[in-house]
Structure 1
Amino acid sequence: MERALHTELWTSFASQIRSYGAAHGLNSQHQAVVEVGSDVILLRVGTRWLRFTPSEMTEDNNRSHPFHLNEDGTVTVGDVTEDMDFTAERLTRELMQ
């Protein structure tokens, strides 16, 4: 994947994680904190967290899963591929429960 496209997809995914973190925080006692860098996105909620790199998603229990942003706007985590916004919403919701 060309670098400019990857950067755009990475930025979009981080933005969706932020948006869903804020939305789910409206009905929760917890607030999501999202830290974004050029090669890492960290989503923290209390003591729980998810860390994304261009090739891996790691959970707070140190379980890792393959992670990939696809050119068509989908995301693959482990064996599951779905639209980027569905992935961002699902992962954020699960972490905030």
Structure 2
Amino acid sequence: MDARLHTELWTSWASLLRTYCAAHGLNSKHHAVVEVGPEVILVRVNDRWLRFTASDMERDDCGKLHFALQEDGTVQYADVTEEMDHAAERLAREMFAVS
């Protein structure tokens, strides 16, 4: 994947995570902290965390899983491929569901 495209997708992914975490935080006693860097995105909610790199997704409650942003705007993680916004919403919801 072209480096410029990867940067755009990475930025979009971080933005979607921030947006959906903020939305789910409206009905929670907790809020999310989303830390974004060029190599790592870290989402924290209470004592839960979710970490992304270009090739891995790691959660506090399980080990590393495969993760990839695709050129067509989909995301692959574990055995799932779905639209980027759907994946971000699902993961944000899961982070708040157990906190």
Q: TM-score scaled by structure 1?
A: 0.98
Aligned length: 97
Query: Residues 63-84 of structure 1: CA distance to partner in whole angstroms, max 9, x if unpaired?
Result: 1110000000000001110000
SS for the counterpart of 1:63 is strand
Where structure 1 has 5 or more consecutive residues not aligned to the other structure, the ranges are none
Correspondence 1:1-97 to 2 at 5 A: 1-97=1-97
Where structure 2 has 5 or more consecutive residues not aligned to the other structure, the ranges are none
Runs of 4+ in 1 over 4 A off after TM superposition: none
Letter in 2 for 1:32: A
Identity of aligned residues (%): 62
